[in-house]
Amino acid sequence: MPVAPLPDGVHPAWLPSAALRAVGSRRVRVVGDGPVVATVRGEVAAAVAEHGGALVDDGPVDLELVCAPDGGEPDPEAFVVGRSGTTTLVRAIDGVGLLYGFHHVVRQGESAFRGEAAPERHAPRQPVRMLDHWDNIDVHPVMGQVERGYAGGSIFYDDGVVRADLSRARAYARLLGSIGVNRVGLNNVNVHRTEARLLTDLLPEAVRLAEVFRPHGIRVHLSVSFAAPMTLGGLPTADPLDPAVRDWWARTTAEVYAAIPDFGGYVVKADSEGQPGPFAYGRDHADGANLLARALAPFGGTVFWRAFVYNHRQDWRDRTTDRARAAYDHFAPLDGAFDPNVVLQVKAGPMDFQPREPVSPVVAAMPRTSLAVEVQVTQEYTGHQKHVCYLVPLWREMLLFRPWGEGGATVADVAAGRTGAPAGGVVAVSNVGDDPFWTGHPLAQANLYGFGRLAWDDRLTPEAVLDEWIGLTFGEAADVREALHDIMDGSWPTYERYTAPLGVGFMVNPGDHYGPGIDGYEYSSWGTYHFADRDGLGVDRTRATGTGFTGQYPASWRDVYESTSTCPDELLLFFHHVPYGHVLRSGKTVVQHIYDTHFEGREEVVRMAGRWARLEGRVPGEVFERVTALLREQLRSATEWRDQVNTYFWRKSGVPDAHGRTIY
Amino acid sequence: MPVAPLPDGVHPAWLPSAALRAVGSRRVRVVGDGPVVATVRGEVAAAVAEHGGALVDDGPVDLELVCAPDGGEPDPEAFVVGRSGTTTLVRAIDGVGLLYGFHHVVRQGESAFRGEAAPERHAPRQPVRMLDHWDNIDVHPVMGQVERGYAGGSIFYDDGVVRADLSRARAYARLLGSIGVNRVGLNNVNVHRTEARLLTDLLPEAVRLAEVFRPHGIRVHLSVSFAAPMTLGGLPTADPLDPAVRDWWARTTAEVYAAIPDFGGYVVKADSEGQPGPFAYGRDHADGANLLARALAPFGGTVFWRAFVYNHRQDWRDRTTDRARAAYDHFAPLDGAFDPNVVLQVKAGPMDFQPREPVSPVVAAMPRTSLAVEVQVTQEYTGHQKHVCYLVPLWREMLLFRPWGEGGATVADVAAGRTGAPAGGVVAVSNVGDDPFWTGHPLAQANLYGFGRLAWDDRLTPEAVLDEWIGLTFGEAADVREALHDIMDGSWPTYERYTAPLGVGFMVNPGDHYGPGIDGYEYSSWGTYHFADRDGLGVDRTRATGTGFTGQYPASWRDVYESTSTCPDELLLFFHHVPYGHVLRSGKTVVQHIYDTHFEGREEVVRMAGRWARLEGRVPGEVFERVTALLREQLRSATEWRDQVNTYFWRKSGVPDAHGRTIY
C-alpha cells in the first residue's frame, strides 16, 4: 500500500522525508503479507524512491523486515530487532509488530545500521494504547466541531458528514501507527444526535474510517449513547435488564461487526454530566457496562466505560460533598461485577485533567477490574495549545506513581495487568484537528508523539522521548535540539507555576477553561472550589476534619496525604485548607510561594520566548512564525495569570510581597 | 382602519376587550381624515361592535372625537379633553393627537363619562418617545435574535427575513400608539451584515414595517453601520469628510425617503464596543454625526448618535482609567459642534443600565446639544424578565434628578428642551419578543406601559402609572389591584437589595449578565470593577484621591458626591472606596448593611411569592402559572445572590454577621 500523499501545506509532523533517509538509502527486503505488511512495504518503497535505496526481493540487503510465525512469541505487537554483519533484521509474527519494528529502525536512523547488535525483543508495555477523539460530526453551537479541540475542525468530519477526502485522516493514521497507537475512538463521548447514528444508518461512514486506520494496525471504536435503544431503536426504554434492549444491542452490534470485522468496541460516558445511563432504571454501572460487553463479546469487542461520574449539580455551600470522591464511591464497590471485556476508563486524577492532581484512588481499588488510565493530550486545562506545555513528564509521573507506596506496583503496572488485575491500558484525548500543524501549536505535536511512546514504554524518560521527537521532526542540528529541550523540558512545571497554586486546581474561566478566573468556579455547581478566604485556602479532604477523601487511598498514601507535615507541597491545597502563613518545605509561606512562583513562571515564559527567537532561520519559517506568535500569546496570558492570581491573594490575605514587586 | 386581530394565544396586554368597554358601550362620533384618524375610527368600530355602542355620524353622542385645525394649538400630538352635558369631547389638530386623546378616554374608563369637566389640554412632556429594538434579522450565534432580549424571538423578523405575517408587529404598534410612543428603531444598534442591508436592497422590507407603524403615529428608524459606505457602497473609505462618502449617504438616504416619506432617521453606535466610527479617520463624533445629519436634513430626519463610547479594552490594573468618565470626556468638548438634527443619545447613568447609578454628568454638560436620555425596558441587568422588577421608579428618579441641585432643572427638563437647550427626548430599549406574553414575564408588561406613560409625562407617579396598567390589564378587582401594588411597587428596591450593594454595580455573570458573579468582571477589560479587598470595597471616583469623575458634575453634586459624609448611601460605593466598617446613615457598617439587605431582599421575594400565590383564580390561569413559575426562579436566583454575595464578603472581610445568620 503506497504512503498516502500529505495534502498541500500540511506539516509532516515527525515523519518528514528526512526522518526516513537512513532507511530510504538502504537496500530493504520486506517479507510477509497482509494489509499492515503492505503498509510497511509502502513506507519502504516511498523512502527508497526518495533517498536512493532499493526495495529488493533478494540479493544483499541492509535491512530485512520479516513477518513470520514464531513458536515462542505470543504478542502480535512485539518485534525483535538485531544486527548481524551488514544486515539489520526485524522480525515479528504479525504485520503490526513489523510496522512497529520498522518505525523503531526509523527512529534509530543511521545508528540502526552500525556495528553489531544482539537480537532484542520489544513489546508494548500496555496492551491498549488508545486515542479518543471528541469530534462531532455536526458543529456543536457551544463546543464547536471538536469538543475541547484547539487545532481547528475535525480531520474526520466536515460539518454534518464524514469528509469525502480522508487524506488527512490517512496521514494521521500513519502517524499514529508509527508510535504504536492501536485504537482510536472516532467520535465525542458526549454523543449528540447525528453522531449517535454512526452506529446505524451512518455505519457506512464509520466503515470508511475503519478502512483508513486498519492498514496501520488500529482498531476503531464508536462512542455510543446509552439511550440509543430509544433514540435510534424506537424502544420505550434503555433499561439494561430489559430483554428487548439486550436484543437491540446484540443485533446492532452484530451489524457493526458485519461491516467492520475488526471493530474495537464502544466507548461510553453514562450518567455523567447529563449523559443518559443505567441510573434512570435503578441499575448500576456494572449492569450498564455488561449490557454492552455481552453484545460485543461474541466478536471480541471491548467496551470502555468511563468512570468520570459525579454530581455536576453540586451545591457550593455543601462542603461535605467532594467531587474527588465520586469515581471511587461509584465504582470501587462494583469491583468484580464487570464482565471481562469491560475496561473501566479512569481519569488519571480524581478531578479533571488539571495540571496537578494526585493519582485517582480508583486505580488501587479495583483489583478484579480492567482499568484504563485516561489522560488529555488536548490541552484543555494546560493552555489550549497556545502555551508550550510538554505533558509527558506529567503523564509519566502519574503512570509511575506507586499507590501502595515504595516498592509497590505502579499505576502503569495496574493498567498493564502486571499486578494480576486484568489488563487495561492507557487512553488519551487527541489534540489534533485540521490545522496545518495538526495540533495548533507546532510544539504540541510532541505531546501526541510522546503519548504514543510513553504508552508503549513507560520506562522511557520524557527527555528521551522529546529527544526522539526533535530528531525526527527537526533533524540533527545540536543547537535546535538544545534550544527545544530548554524550552520544552520544563514547560509543564512552568505552566503550573503561573496558574493555580499547589494542586488547588481550576481557577480558570468557566466554560472555555482558558485564562485565569480565580473565583470562576467558586460558587458554581461543578464541585471545583478553592475556599479561599482572608485567612487561607485549600480543600480539606482529610479524614480527620474534611471530606475523608484521603481514606480512599491505600494505607501508605492515606497517611501521607492526611497530614500537612507529610503531604507533598505540590498537592498541599488539594488535600488541606491552610493559612496563608503555613510554611512549606522551601521555608516560604504559602502566600509568598504563590507570589514567587507566579513572578517566576511568567519570567520563564519571557526566557522561553527569547530562546525561541534565536532559532530564526534554524527551523522552517512557518514553524518559527507560528510558535513566535503563540509565545506572544503565552506571555500575555501568563502575565494575566500572574497579576490576577497575585492580586487576588494579596487583596484577600493582605500580606505584602516580601520582595516588594508590583501587585495590583 | 380595522383593529388588527390578535394572533391566537397572544396576551392582549393592557388593551383587552374589557379595557374598551366604557367607550365601546357609548355612541361615538369620529371626525377627521387621514391614516391615524382611521385607526381611531377602527378602534371605536371594534369596541362598539363588542360592547353594544355605536359609531355614529350624527344624532346625540356620548363621545366626540374631533380632528380639526385649531389656530392656537402648535403641537400635533396634543389634545384637549372636556365634558359638557352628556358629551365627552376630544379635540386635536392631528390624527395622532386624536389617537392619544382617545386612549386617554380609554384609560379613564367610566369616569370619562361622568359629570362635567372643563376642557383640559394634554401634550407630551417629551417630543421624542422612542423604543429601540435590538433585534437581529439573522439569529446571532452568541446574542440570539434579540440582543439582550428575554422574551423569545423578534416580532419583526424570522431567522433571516422580515416576517411574512406581521400581525404581531401590528398588535405591538397598536399597543405603543396607545401609550404615546412615537418612534421605533427597527434593528439592533450592533449592526450585523444582513441588518445593514435594510438600508439598501432590503429597504422594501423596512417599508413593510414602516407601514405597520404609520397608522399609529410612529416613525421608524434604522440603526446603520458607520462603515456602510464601504460594506454596502463599495467605497474605499467611510471617512465622514470624504465627498464620495457624503454623496453615498445623501443618495442612499434620498432613496430611503422615496420609499418611506415619514422615515424618522438613523440610530448609530459608532466607535463603541467594536463598532466602526469616525475615529478610524482621525475625525470626531461631531464629524461623524453631522455627516448623517446632513444626509437626513433635507427630509426632516434625525440622527440619534449614541454617547455610549468608552474603552472596552481597559486594563484592570490601571485604576486611573474610569469608564464612568468616558461619555463626558468624549462628548462634552463637542457641545455646539452638532447639527440641529443630531440627537445625542445618552445612557441615563454613566456606566450601563445598572440597578443603581448616578445620573450621567453629560446631561448637564451640553447646553447647545439635543440630548435623549436612554434607559432599558429590557431587563438586562435587572433580572432578565425572570425577576419582578418594576422599573418606573428607577427611571423617574433619574428623570427628576436635578443636576444643578435643588430648584434647578431636571433631567427630563433638559431632554425636553425646557432648559433652553434644543429638545431631545427619551429612548428605551424594548423588552418585547414573540413570547405569548410579549415580555416573557407577564408583569414586565408594566415596564413597557410605564415607559410610554412616563415619557409622556414625567410628573406621573410610578404608583399611578402602575395603577392605570393594573386596571387596564386586570380590571377593577380591588384585591388584585392591592396585591399587584404590593408585589410590584417596591420590586426594584428589592432587586437592588439582593444584588450588588450600594451602587457598586456589576457583580454579574460575564456575558449573559444574569445571576451573581461577584468577581465576574473584576479582572476583565470592561472597566467595571469593585476593588474589594480584605479591608473594604468601592471605586474611588473623587477628585481628591480618585479618578476625578465627581468633577464632571455641576458644583452642587460635585461636592456632595466628593465626600463620604454627604454622598448618598445608595451611591456610596459608586463614588468611594470605604472600609467594611464604614458606618452608613442607618448606623450600620457597610458589611452589616450588605448582610442585612441580602437577607432581607431574599425574604421579600418569599413574601412576594406568597402574596402572588393567593391570587390563584383571581387572574387568568395562564398568567398565574407563568408568574408562579418565574417567582420560583426569582427565589432561587435571589437565594443564590444572597449566599454568594454574603459569603464573598464574609470570606474577604472576616466580619461575622451581627445576627449570626448562615453565611457559607
The pLDDT tens digits of the residues spanning A126-138 come to 999 999 999 999 9
pLDDT band at A70 (very low <50, low <70, confident <90, very high): confident
Q: Check CB contact under 8 Å for A647 and B523.
A: yes
Cα angle: B368, vertex B370, B372; to 5 degrees: 140
pLDDT in tens, B474-531: 999 999 999 999 999 999 999 999 999 999 999 999 999 999 999 999 999 999 999 9
pLDDT band at A324 (very low <50, low <70, confident <90, very high): very high
State the average pLDDT over residues B603-629: 98
- C-alpha separations of B481 from B478, B509, B604, B615 in Å: 5, 35, 19, 10
- C-alpha B603/C-alpha A349 separation (Å) is 42
Q: How confident is the prediction for chain A on average, in pLDDT?
A: 97
Q: Burial of B662 by CB count in 10 Å (0-12 exposed, 13-18 middle, 19+ buried)?
A: exposed
- C-alpha B366/C-alpha B414 separation (Å) is 10
Q: Are B117 and B83 in contact (CB under 8 A)?
A: yes
Residue B58 reports pLDDT greater than 80: yes
How far is the alpha carbon of A469 from chain B, nearest alpha carbon, in Å? 39
Q: Are B357 and B349 in contact (CB under 8 A)?
A: yes
Share of chain A above pLDDT 90, in %: 96
Residue B473 reports pLDDT greater than 90: yes
Share of chain A above pLDDT 70, in %: 100
Nearest to A141 among B141, B519, B651 (CB): B141
Nearest to A516 among B523, B533, B648 (CB): B523
DSSP secondary structure code for residue A145 in this structure: E
Residue B51 reports pLDDT greater than 90: yes
State the average pLDDT over residues A310-331: 95
Nearest residue of A to residue B315 by CA position?
A640
- C-alpha A44/C-alpha A51 separation (Å) is 10
With beta carbons under 8 A apart, name residues in chain B contacting A648. Answer: 519, 523
> CB under 8 Å to B286, separation ≥6 — which residues?
B334, B337, B338, B342
Category of A204 on φ-ψ map: left (φ > 0), alpha (ψ -120 to 50) or beta: alpha
Residue B4 reports pLDDT greater than 90: no
The answer to whether residue A380 is catalytic is yes
- C-alpha B271/C-alpha B252 separation (Å) is 22
State the average pLDDT over residues B565-575: 98
With beta carbons under 8 A apart, name residues in chain A contacting B317. Answer: 643, 647, 664
Q: Check CB contact under 8 Å for B534 and A653.
A: yes
With beta carbons under 8 A apart, name residues in chain B contacting A653. Answer: 534
Category of A23 on φ-ψ map: left (φ > 0), alpha (ψ -120 to 50) or beta: alpha
Per-residue model confidence (pLDDT) at position A5: 82
Closest residue by Cα to residue A184 from A473, A458, A452: A452
State the average pLDDT over residues A12-22: 98
In DSSP terms, which residues pair with A13 in a beta bridge? none
Residues of B that are catalytic: 273, 352, 380
Q: What is the 3-class SS of B322-389, one letter each residue? A: CHHHHHHHHHHHHCCCCCCCEEEEEECCCCCCCCCCCCCHHHHCCCCCEEEEEEECCCCCCCCCCCCC
Global pTM value: 0.94
Per-residue model confidence (pLDDT) at position A285: 97
Nearest to A534 among B519, B643, B654 (CB): B654
Per-residue model confidence (pLDDT) at position B220: 98
Q: Check CB contact under 8 Å for B664 and A516.
A: no
Closest residue by Cα to residue B75 from B55, B91, B54: B91
Three-state DSSP at B42 gives helix
Q: Burial of A317 by CB count in 10 Å (0-12 exposed, 13-18 middle, 19+ buried)?
A: middle
- DSSP character string of B256-281: HHHH-TT--EEEE--SSTT---GGGG
Number of H helices, E strands in chain A: 20, 20
Q: Check CB contact under 8 Å for A316 and B664.
A: yes
Per-residue model confidence (pLDDT) at position B479: 97
pLDDT band at B187 (very low <50, low <70, confident <90, very high): very high
Per-residue model confidence (pLDDT) at position A550: 98
Q: What's the grid cell of residue A244?
A: 428487548
State the greatest distance between any 2 C-alpha atoms of chain B, in Å, as a whole number.
Answer: 80
- C-alpha A11/C-alpha B314 separation (Å) is 38
CA B75 to chain CA centroid, nearest Å: 24
Nearest to B317 among A532, A643, A654 (CB): A643
Q: Are B549 and B574 in contact (CB under 8 A)?
A: no
With beta carbons under 8 A apart, name residues in chain A contacting B651. Answer: 532-534, 652
Q: What's the grid cell of residue B228?
A: 456602510
> CB under 8 Å to B591, separation ≥6 — which residues?
B580, B581, B649, B653, B655
Amino acid present at B367: P
Q: Check CB contact under 8 Å for A534 and B651.
A: yes
In chain A, the N- to C-terminal Cα span, in Å, equals 62
With beta carbons under 8 A apart, name residues in chain A contacting B313. Answer: none
- C-alpha B591/C-alpha B201 separation (Å) is 58
* Residues of A contacting chain B (CB within 8 angstroms): 141, 316-317, 516, 518-519, 523, 532-535, 640, 643-644, 647-648, 650-654, 664
Which of A26-40, A62-76, A589-603, B456-470 is the least confident region?
Answer: A62-76
pLDDT in tens, A506-557: 999 999 999 999 999 999 999 999 999 999 999 999 999 999 999 999 999 9
- DSSP character string of B52-73: S-EE-SSS--SEEEEE---TT-
Pairing label, strands B79-84, B117-122: antiparallel
Q: How confident is the prediction for chain B on average, in pLDDT?
A: 97
pLDDT in tens, A362-393: 999 999 999 999 999 999 999 999 999 999 99
Q: Are B536 and B577 in contact (CB under 8 A)?
A: yes
Nearest to A651 among B317, B518, B534 (CB): B534
How far is the alpha carbon of A522 from chain B, nearest alpha carbon, in Å? 9
Nearest to B518 among A519, A532, A652 (CB): A519
Residue A210 reports pLDDT greater than 80: yes
How far is the alpha carbon of A540 from chain B, nearest alpha carbon, in Å? 15
Per-residue model confidence (pLDDT) at position B142: 85
Q: Strand ranges (DSSP E) for A382-422?
A: none
pLDDT band at A55 (very low <50, low <70, confident <90, very high): very high
Nearest residue of B to residue A140 by CA position?
B141
Q: Which helix (H) or strand (E) holds B137?
A: strand B135-140
Three-state DSSP at B224 gives coil
Residue A197 reports pLDDT greater than 80: yes
Sheet holding A117-122, edge to edge: A54-55, A27-31, A63-67, A87-92, A79-84, A117-122
Tracing cell 474561566 back to the chain, one arrives at A509
Per-residue model confidence (pLDDT) at position A62: 97
Q: What's the grid cell of residue B543?
A: 477628585
Q: Check CB contact under 8 Å for B533 and A654.
A: yes
pLDDT band at B2 (very low <50, low <70, confident <90, very high): confident
Nearest residue of B to residue A521 by CA position?
B517
Tracing cell 450601563 back to the chain, one arrives at B352
Count A/B contacts: CB-CB distance under 8 Å: 52
With beta carbons under 8 A apart, name residues in chain A contacting B518. Answer: 519, 523
Residue A256 reports pLDDT greater than 80: yes
Nearest to B652 among A523, A644, A652 (CB): A652
Category of B138 on φ-ψ map: left (φ > 0), alpha (ψ -120 to 50) or beta: beta
* Residues of B contacting chain A (CB within 8 angstroms): 141, 316-317, 516, 518-519, 523, 532-535, 640, 643-644, 647-648, 650-654, 664
pLDDT band at A167 (very low <50, low <70, confident <90, very high): very high
- Catalytic-role residue among A43, A205, A284, A352: A352
CB atoms within 10 A of CB B368: 12
Tracing cell 396576551 back to the chain, one arrives at B11
In DSSP terms, which residues pair with B265 in a beta bridge? B221, B302
- C-alpha B356/C-alpha B193 separation (Å) is 35
With beta carbons under 8 A apart, name residues in chain B contacting A652. Answer: 533-534, 651-652
Q: Are B405 and B556 in contact (CB under 8 A)?
A: yes
Q: What's the grid cell of residue B95?
A: 390624527
- C-alpha B210/C-alpha B194 separation (Å) is 18
- C-alpha separations of B590 from A79, A100, A664, B506, B542 in Å: 74, 70, 23, 18, 19
Tracing cell 522480525 back to the chain, one arrives at A91
Q: Which residues of B524-542 are buried (b: 16+ CB within 10 A; e: fewer)?
A: bebbbbbbbbbebbbbbbb
Q: Check CB contact under 8 Å for A518 and B518.
A: no
pLDDT in tens, B225-251: 999 999 999 999 999 999 999 999 999
Q: Are B345 and B304 in contact (CB under 8 A)?
A: yes
